Amino acid sequence: MPILKQEIDLHPPGLFGAPFPPWQVAYVRSRHEKALARYLLRHGIPFYLPQFLQERRIDGRKRISSLPLFPGYVFLPISTAERKKSLESNLVVRLIEVFDQALIHGELMRLWELQITGTPLVPHPYLEIGQEVDVIAGPLKGCRGTIQRQHGQLRLVVSVTLLRRSVAATLDRESVVPVPFPSPRRELARSPVVL
């Protein structure tokens, strides 16, 4: 089944090519990212709402939805007057100040450049070295470990603690998810003895 007309990701179209006020991040009410984007568009307020396409089968029929890449957040390079107007929408829970403007501008610009190439974007939990993860696929499914180092964008080396020893294994990024809360064994997992 064809998707509904995809919402606008970016307004104005040349957002990353022109100087704009400092970026702020709008944390919005649950599932109201697109509603805020429509409100901002109507009022001529600049925004960036990166989206991705998700395909699902419901009752045997293929459905394609356009969803926010970062649920709950819309990026706004806005002035003080535009800040006030965006808060009047009653869709913004709070505005988050951004302290490193160059960093966020560069990251969002690279994300936009990737998005306009047509490369399929897939949200994935943020992973970093030292973070504890659960293995959800493959032969080590059900194990818990700590990320030791990353190779490029798609490969990880994870140390899995077994019987107070560790085994290093290279896993696909998609086979691990971050542990929601630190476990009491985190310190042991951080300095493994690799066999």
Query: What does the DSSP assignment read for 138-192?
Result: STTTT-EEEEEEEETTTEEEEEEEETTEEEEEEEEGGGEEE-SS--TTHHHHHS-
Among residues 194, 192, 190, 157, the alpha carbon closest in space to that of 176 is found at 157
Q: What is the pLDDT of residue 138?
A: 80
The answer, yes or no, to whether residue 45 has pLDDT greater than 70, is yes
pLDDT in tens, 132-148: 888 888 877 887 877 77
Using DSSP's 3-state secondary structure scheme, residue 10 falls into strand
Q: Which tops the pLDDT comparison, 78 or 165?
A: 78
Residue 58: CA count within 13 A, CB half-sphere? 7
Q: Report pLDDT for 35.
A: 96
Is 23 or 173 the better-scoring residue by pLDDT? Answer: 23
Residues of the chain with CATH 3.30.70: 10-116
What are the start-end ranges of the E strands in the chain? 10-11, 23-28, 47-48, 51-58, 61-68, 73-77, 92-97, 132-135, 144-151, 155-162, 165-172, 176-178
Give the residue range(s) of CATH 2.30.30.30 domains in the chain.
132-190
Mean predicted confidence (pLDDT) in 150-175: 57
Position 58 confidence tier, pLDDT thresholds 50, 70, 90: confident
CATH entry, 10-116, from 2.20.130, 3.10.50, 3.30.70, 3.40.50: 3.30.70
Contact, 26 vs 73, CB < 8 A? yes
Highest mean pLDDT among 2-6, 31-35, 109-113: 31-35
What topology does CATH give the domain 132-190?
SH3 type barrels. (2.30.30)
The pLDDT of residue 71 is above 50 = yes
Average pLDDT over residues 43-71: 91
State what percent of residues in the chain have pLDDT above 90. 39
